[in-house]
Structures are given as C-alpha cells and as structure tokens.
C-alpha cells in the first residue's frame, strides 16, 4: 500500500534559520549600493565641473 498524502490545507512549517537571509549579507549589500551611488555621484560631479570650467572655450581651441 502507498502512504497517504498529507492534507493540502495544512499551513507550512515556520521558517528556519536556514531559510532567512543572513543579516550580514544584507548589510554588506546595503553598503555596496551606497558606495556605488556615491561613486556615480562623484563621476557626475567631476563631469559637470569639467564642462562648466571649459564652457565656451571648447570651441575656441586650435585644431
């Protein structure tokens, strides 16, 4: 005889420690995202400062 199937309306077992993500990895991901956004903001700032300082002088240079 085959074993009876468990009822389908039973609530799933509570999550175990293995099912939950590690808070250290979540913290590291948050720091990585903050660092990436900071680097992108810095690159944009350097670009904008360069464009402003060059201004119209870009077209006035010898070729």
pLDDT in tens, the chain (63 residues): 577 776 666 566 666 666 678 889 999 999 999 999 999 999 999 999 988 888 877 777 777
Looking at residue 56, what DSSP letter applies? G
Q: What is the pLDDT of residue 62?
A: 75
Q: Which H/E stretch holds residue 53?
A: helix 23-54
Q: How far apart are CA 50 and CA 42, in angstroms?
A: 12
pTM tops 0.75:
no
């Amino acid at each position: 005889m085959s074993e009876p199937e468990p009822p389908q309306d039973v609530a799933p077992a509570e999550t175990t420690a293995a099912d939950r993500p590690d808070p250290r990895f979540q913290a590291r991901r948050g720091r990585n995202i903050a660092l990436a956004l900071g680097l992108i903001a810095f690159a944009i700032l350097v670009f904008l400062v360069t464009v402003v300082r060059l201004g119209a002088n870009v077209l006035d240079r010898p070729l």
